[in-house]
């Protein structure tokens, strides 16, 4: 069964390979985790904002996730690169890891997080 939708941004706030929108998600332990959404090849992708290398947020300036080519999401700390449409590690110290994907829906000019009960908490 699909979860409840929570508004995270207006569609026009998340532009193709532009700045991402930051938001938070509730973790299983009642805490919250930082998250972000970006647009790539027309679709919105959202992930927990936590690098697979070390548990740090990716953005090099607030909301800046894409590398200069606009082809990868880049971690500012040691340069791990992730595929925007899967969150899988493309290069760098995230080898074998990936970003934790979050389900979203886009309709009526808005982007919504599909809230899940099972967002991990392995911190």
Q: Where along the sequence are the contacts to ligand FES (CB under 6 A)?
A: 51, 53-54, 56, 75, 77-80, 92-93
CA atoms within 13 A on the CB side of 56: 14
Nearest residue (CB) to ligand FES, 6 versus 78: 78
Measured from the CB of residue 35, what is the shortest distance to ligand FES in angstroms? 16
- Residues whose CB is less than 8 angstroms from the CB of residue 119 and which lie 6 or more positions away in sequence, other chains included: 25, 26, 27, 28, 33, 48, 100, 102
Using CA atoms, how far apart are residues 59 and 51, in angstroms rounded to an integer? Answer: 10
The CB-of-7 to ligand FES minimum distance in angstroms stands at 29
Question: Toward ligand FES, which CB reaches closer, 54 or 105?
Answer: 54
- Output 93 or 98, the one with its CB closest to ligand FES: 93
Q: Least separation, in Å, of the C-beta of 72 and ligand FES? A: 12
- All residues at 6 or more sequence positions from 41 whose CB lies less than 8 Å from its CB, including other chains: 16, 85
- Parallel/antiparallel/unpaired status of strands 21-26 and 81-82: unpaired
Residue among 39 and 59 whose Cβ is closer to ligand FES? 59
């Amino acid at each position: 069964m699909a979860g409840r939708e929570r508004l995270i941004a207006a569609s026009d706030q998340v532009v193709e390979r532009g700045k991402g929108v930051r938001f938070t998600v509730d973790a299983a332990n009642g805490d919250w985790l930082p998250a972000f959404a970006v647009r790539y090849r027309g679709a919105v992708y959202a992930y927990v904002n936590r690098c697979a290398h070390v548990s740090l947020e990716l953005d090099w300036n607030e909301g800046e996730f894409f590398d200069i080519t606009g082809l990868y999401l880049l971690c500012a700390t040691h340069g791990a690169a992730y595929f925007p449409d899967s969150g899988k590690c493309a290069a760098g110290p995230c080898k074998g890891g990936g970003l934790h994907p979050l389900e979203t829906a886009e309709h009526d000019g808005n982007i919504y997080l599909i809230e899940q009960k099972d967002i991990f908490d392995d911190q």
